[in-house]
Structure 1
Amino acid sequence: MQKYLSLLLLGCLLVMQATAQMRTITGRVQDKKTHAAISGAVISLKKGGKAITHSDQKGRFTLNVPNGPLTLEAIAADYQTTTLQITAGLSSVVINMQPILHPVNAKDDRVLEEVITTGYVHKAPEPLSEPSATPIASPMAYSLQGKVAGVAVNYGNGKRRAPAGRFNTEDYSPVTENIFHAATDEPLSTFSIDVDRASYSNVRRFLNQGVQPPQDAVRVEEMINYFDYNYKSPTGKDPVAIYTDMAVCPWNTSHQLVRIAIKGKDVDARELPPSNLVFLLDVSGSMDEENKLPLVKRAFAALVQQLRPEDKVAVVVYAGAAGVVLPSTSGSEKKKILEAMESLQAGGSTAGGEGIELAYKIAAENRSAKSNNRIILATDGDFNIGASSDGALQRLIEKERQQGIFLSVLGFGMGNYKDNKLELLADKGNGNYAYIDNFEEARRTFVTEFGGTLFTIAKDVKLQVEFNPAFVQSYRLVGYENRLLANEDFNNDKKDAGDMGVGHTVTALYEIISTTDKAGKGVNWVDPLKYQQHTVVGHLPEVLTVKLRYKQPQENKSRLMEQVLPYNRQQITEAPEDFRMATAAAAFGQLLRNSAFKGAITYNDVLQLASSAKGQDKEGYRAEFIQLVKKAQLIGKDQE
């Protein structure tokens, strides 16, 4: 008995000694110049431990660290990584972070006096609201009346007005990275799928111009899902199939990386239903650049060539007002459609809300019981007239999608590009979102992946992953920050989610810390719960269960699928090519974001991983990725 009492006393002494060697630091993260609070900043020990936390909405944080002097590191989107030396007795700190000043694009680095769109001031005609059989050569060649800031107007006396100055008003929604969650406290992770890839092609645009992309322009899940993966098509009654596997995480080899892959069924183009399409084209003054309206015309010309006689296309434009350039026309009349497209010119302000309303009206008028109804919006997103607020546009699209008319969005241009608004429109419109930076991307969207772009096979697709705490100590979802759902949303059929097109693939990665990783117990996002009974259930070999809900395109009730992942330890170099490629894309995105979770990965590691996963690469996208990594590596060295 005395032996056990001695052991108990020794244990208590050891715990007291360990506690005495730790201390709590509180602090605030703020902008160095304005002192504004920075939320979502990740604060961690640079050396000597794995303590890590993040700042709240007021920039505040609490971190348990060892006693003695140490170095804190803070990482936040659009701010330079900041380190702070902490002395032994200091318990309260303020971390001042310096904003990153992104250089203005070379092509955009010019005075507004060089951006000239000429119009003539006279009484504006009534807005076009009824279909017109005659293409409009210049739909908005009337009365600009100074509505577009910085666009010159010809008043008929040879004088033009354009205020001097530089501009770069690109806009991105903030991305606060997902953190680790304890599997005992939060065993469920729920999110909507995302087949968009706009972020990747937009990042490519920056890197090809020798510029580091803004951190919030990098959405890791869209970097991953840009690539074609050779997953097996579903063979059962469900239009999608689920695959799972795991390997050692390359950026932190004490962790594991789980891959969840979804493949949509392939459908012969001859079996696809007839399409009722409306091309909704922004022809405002901001589109009057070579990489905007002219590229829009070439992109849609590629789509027109894919149309069948049973397909129909209408063309709606908007600038100062919205109008119908071409009424719904059979796909057999390709020449007529192309002539209408080619006649368009840019000029005027941007009545985006009015254009969207008119496009839905035209689509509804030409809808049939079996038709595939879709609006394809092409714009730089710079709405400034009409229902232009995010809230108003969201409510409009949520109302109209109930008619079974989907909205896909194509982004163009630079300098005034509104990524955040276009992503929102596509998300709420049950469509996909792509950024077209060159004609090759247009060809891929409208030719190579014609079916996936236009035809939905499963809507409101949600994933819910349940982690087995017998194996998983903690986990974090890599990317998908703006696709997270509440756990109760999974079974709620009224909750909107992402959609999958013909042949689409979706890949999600989880970084997990296993219960056997003793070093991982330093993850201290929250204090241990006092009153919870942490009873572990399940079998050790079973790592997690994936549940998937989807709806058939014409149905409102979801269907359920499940898949279990058994434990499998393998090096990432032994994993399938597609797994390695997805991992390389995720690692690259984390490096570009200067992620707090990028671990020990380097650009050279990404290059090695991607090179080993190149495979047949019929379209050359993986080879292009390797070149982009090399460019990013050089840009990073230039900015050191």
Structure 2
Amino acid sequence: MLKYLFLLLAGLINIQAQAQRILTGIVSDTDSHQPLPSVSVRIKGTALGTITNAKGEYHLSAPKGNITLVASLIGYTTKEIPVAEKQSNISISLEPSKSQLSEVLVVGYGVTSKRYSTSGCVSTISGKDPDHEEYDPIAGNRFMNAEAHPLSTFAVDVDRAAYSNVRRFLNNGELPPADAVRVEEMINYFDYQYRPPGGNDPVAIYTDMMKCPWEPRHQLLRIGVKAMEVSNEKLPPANLVFLIDVSGSMGAPNKLPLVIQSLKALTQQLRPIDHVAIVVYAGAAGIVLPSTPGSEKITIMDALDKLEAGGSTAGGAGIQLAYNTAAAGYLENGNNRVILATDGDFNVGISSESELENLISGKKEKGIFLSVLGFGMGNLKDNKLETLADKGNGNYAYIDTYEEARRTLVSEFGGTLFTVAKDVKLQVEFNPHYVGSYRLIGYEDRMLNTEDFDDDKKDGGEMGAGHTVTALYEIAAPEDDHLPYGLKPDQGDRMMTYWNEDALTVNVRYKKPKSNSSRVFSQRMRWNVVPMSRVTDDFKMATAVAAFGMLLRNSEFKGNASYAQVLSLAESAKGPDKEGYRAEFIQLVKKARLLNNGTPAYSNVMADTDDN
């Protein structure tokens, strides 16, 4: 009996194997011959389908017999490919859609040249004045007297929207507005090789110090914070809601089409245990796709492909519906998050900043966080988008290209979507025996009062899996010309007496994602004078980016910084540069130098800082 059962099972398996075949191939651009990621490849008349990976490759189980493949991608003409019974390797080339492909490369206002886009994500400038964009004003941090004000307190910030936004301006042949340059976000755009925490805390602290390149009398302190790493396989299940602005302001090719491509890239990362719903808003808000498991990628991507822009913007109503949808699918031990994709131009419904803040702050207390993706140019409401993300315990990214979408939503999937520590605050305690004055570079909109550090009701920043945060302080010794820039001693926070040789102590306070009470730990640092030639490439890179930010802002504290100095620093810190981000930075500095109408002589920073 067992023998016959075995033969029957073997026969069934053999029949099943004969009924299926594996189709493989590469989908590429007809003009450039470059592989295309995120292409939908499906079998016509069936629910069978897949999407291409980053190399344009696809693998698809198909039935025996003649079939027809359908390949589609935003920005390209959909193509049907007949496949004979014996074919198994079918490469496909897609032709760019001529109606969507004109990309305007801005050399200067009124000067344009057309070129084709190979990604299907198109960007254009309509001639709109960038002054219609909104940025919060930034008053750069000043030097503080360490004897009178020994404590410096701020919330961490892992956002990096300012860097990609600055890149957009420079690539379009313009210098960015000064208030668009948040120096800490530019510094934190880059990966730094801090070791992940090894103890019970989800974050670890690292400190080092060197001579300041733009002010040789001063020291530059670097504080690095590294969050624990979690592999994608070990992330908790995700309950996501894509909240997509489809109002008339999103009609430009570098807005909604790029939103669709970006969220399709994210869809590729979803696991069967993850769920996604899609909510849209324009004149009214509605659910386009109910909560759908990550295994049904074709269904999710088809829903995205059907979106069109038009109408006014009921942003508040959309957010409310998105939160209600997330609440309906709430996972007690999961990652519950709304992902808002918009240019921030809310003009109907809840539009005041205070109303939106109250709505979002209330929802985060119930365990539903908000991440914000900004798109477009000409009317970008950067200030509003940053505020929404801050209040929603999420992060804010500006997506200017498909590559930026890939990095944010694919390469850093866990860090973008899974918080390992919330309300993270840093408080640095300076020893006036070593430190006469100090200045935190950037973080102006993250500064906290001294007493806020111990107040669990005061928001900090959120860190996702694997995230790093870097902060730089410029420090003057007590004997350095009786404090820099005319600063005079005064009475301030409180006087402190030191009985050790530590130059400073870094205190970190954080909450675990599901907790409302905080924990704190500290690390001390001794005074250390090190020339730049003996510090890591990461420290030099962070320093180059900080100097670049000060030049773009024309900071009064830029000292001897120059574009030539920034280039020298960045080139010496380039290292392996696997993803090419540091090489791209070098090109941006060169563009900024030309736009600034200055070509200073190339200086050897390493030689300048090693003399002493």
Letter in 2 for 1:378: A
Structure 1 residue 316 corresponds to structure 2 residue 279: yes
Is 2:537 the partner of 1:537? no
Q: Deviations over 1:53-87 (max 9, x none)?
A: xxxxxxxxxxxxxxxxxxxxxxxxxxxxxxxxxxx
Cα offset, 1:515, TM superposition: 1.6
- 1:393 aligned residue (324, 346, 356): 356
Per-residue deviation, 1:535: 7.3
In 1, the alpha carbon distance for the partners of 2:495 and 2:515 equals 41
Kept in 1, the 8 Å contact 2:148–2:494? The answer is no
- Residue in structure 2 matched with residue 610 of structure 1 by the alignment: 570
Structure 1 position 257 matched with structure 2 position 214: no
CA distance in structure 1 between the aligned counterparts of 2:398 and 2:493, rounded to whole angstroms: 47
CA distance in 2, matches of 1:219, 1:632: 16
Q: Cα distance 1:294–1:573, how it changes in 2: closer, same or farther (>3 A)?
A: same
Structure 1 CA distance for aligned equivalents of residues 395 and 221 of structure 2: 25
Describe the shift of the 1:167–1:411 C-alpha distance in structure 2 as closer, same or farther (beyond 3 A): closer
Say if 1:388 and 1:108 are closer, same or farther in 2 by CA, change over 3 A: farther
1:300 and 2:263 aligned: yes
Contact 1:470 1:538 in 2 (8 A): no
1:510 to 449, 467, 473: 473
- 1:220 matches 2:183: yes
Task: Tell me if the contact between 2:247 and 2:283 (Cα under 8 Å) persists in the aligned partners.
Answer: yes
Are 2:483 and 1:521 equivalent residues in the alignment? yes
In the TM superposition, residue 533 of structure 1 has moved relative to its aligned partner by 10
**What secondary structure does 1:637 align onto?**
coil
Mapped partners of 1:383, 1:247: distance in 2:
46
- Which amino acid counterpart does residue 521 of structure 1 have in structure 2? L
Partner Cα distance (2:144, 2:421) in 1: 30
Task: State the match for 1:484 in structure 2.
Answer: 447
Q: Is the 8 A contact 2:150 2:493 kept in 1?
A: no
Distance 1:551 1:522 in 2: 37
Q: Aligned partners of 1:479, 1:225: CA distance in 2, in Å?
A: 11
- Is residue 470–residue 536 contact of structure 1 (8 Å, CA) maintained in 2? no
Please state whether the residue corresponding to 1:263 is helix, strand or coil. strand
3-state SS of paired residue (1:403): coil
SS of residue in 1 equivalent to 2:483: helix
Report the Cα offset of residue 558 of structure 1.
Answer: 0.5
Structure 2 gap ranges (5+): 1-104, 111-126, 601-612
Structure 1, gaps ≥5 residues long: 1-104, 111-163
- Residue 634 of structure 1 corresponds to 594
Q: CA deviation at 1:608?
A: 0.7
Which AA in structure 2 matches 1:628?
L
> Does the aligned pair in 2 maintain the 1:109–1:167 contact within 8 Å?
no
**Corresponding residue for 1:465?**
428
Counterparts of 1:532 and 1:351 in 2: how far apart (Å)? Answer: 45
Aligned to 1:592: 552
The 2-side partners of 1:185 and 1:310 are apart by: 54
Residue 572 of structure 1: aligned partner: 532
Aligned pair count?
481
Tell me, in whole angstroms, the C-alpha distance in 1 between the residues paired with 2:210 and 2:477.
Answer: 12
Q: Which residue of 1 aligns with 2:293?
A: 330
The corresponding residue for 1:619 is 579
**Displacement of 1:573 after TM fit?**
2.7
Instruction: Give the Å deviation of 1:534.
Output: 6.7
In 1, the alpha carbon distance for the partners of 2:589 and 2:469 equals: 22
Q: CA deviation at 1:504?
A: 0.2
Cα pair 1:316 1:325 within 8 Å, conserved: yes
SS in 2 for 1:622: helix
2:416 to 453, 458, 465: 453
Using the TM superposition, give the Cα deviation of residue 497 of structure 1 relative to its aligned residue in structure 2, in angstroms: 1.1
CA contact 1:430–1:459 (8 Å) conserved in 2 = yes
Deviating 4+ runs (over 6 angstroms): 107-110, 164-167, 531-535
2:306 to 313, 325, 343: 343
Change over 3 Å in CA distance of 1:532–1:176 after alignment to 2:
closer
**Does the residue aligned with 2:262 lie in a helix, a strand or coil?**
helix
1:106 to partner: Cα distance: 4.9
Q: Distance in 1 between matches of 2:409 and 2:172?
A: 25
The amino acid across from 2:538 in the alignment is: D
Q: Deviations over 1:553-584 (max 9, x none)?
A: 01111111101111111112321111111111
When residues 532 and 181 of structure 1 are mapped into structure 2, their CA distance, relative to the original with a 3 A threshold, is closer
Give the 3-state SS of the residue equivalent to 1:280 in structure 2.
strand
Does the 8 A contact of 1:573 with 1:580 survive in 2? no
SS at structure 1 position matched to 2:213: coil
Root-mean-square deviation (CA, aligned residues, Å) is: 2.1
1:203-243 deviation per Cα after TM superposition (whole angstroms, max 9, x unaligned): 00000011010000000000100001111011111111100
Alignment partners' CA distance in 1, 2:390 and 2:156: 11
Q: Retained in 2: the 8 A contact 1:378–1:409?
A: yes
- Amino acid of the structure 2 residue aligned with 1:622: R
AA at the equivalent of 1:499: E
- In 1, Cα distance between equivalents of 2:198 and 2:542: 24
SS in structure 2 at match of 1:295: helix
Q: Which amino acid aligns with 1:538?
A: W
- How many Å separate the matches in 1 of 2:597 and 2:566? 16
What is the aligned counterpart of 2:506 among 539, 546, 551? 546
Per the TM alignment, residue 168 of structure 1 is displaced from its structure 2 partner at its CA by 4.7
In 2, Cα distance between the equivalents of 1:203 and 1:532? Answer: 36
Distance in 2 of aligned mates of 1:563 and 1:552: 20
1:133-170 per-position Cα deviation (integer Å, ceiling 9, x unaligned) = xxxxxxxxxxxxxxxxxxxxxxxxxxxxxxx9978510
**CA, structure 1 residues 109+293, in 2 after alignment: closer, same or farther (shift >3 Å)?**
farther
Residue-by-residue CA offset, 1:71-110 (whole Å, 9 max, x unaligned): xxxxxxxxxxxxxxxxxxxxxxxxxxxxxxxxxx959969
Change (3 A) 1:638 1:384: farther
Q: Return the alpha-carbon distance in structure 2 between the equivalents of residues 368 and 241 of structure 1.
A: 29
Q: Residue 211 of structure 2 aligns with which residue?
A: 248
The CA deviation at 1:532 is 11
Mapped partners of 1:249, 1:503: distance in 2 = 28
The TM-score with structure 1 as length reference comes to 0.73
**Aligned AA (1:305):** Q
How far off is 1:586 after superposition?
0.5
Match of 2:167 among 189, 200, 204: 204
Aligned mates of 1:601, 1:108 — CA distance in 2: 27
TM-aligned CA deviation for residue 616 of structure 1: 1.1
Contact 2:149 2:494 in 1 (8 A): no
Question: Residue 202 of structure 2 aligns with which residue?
Answer: 239
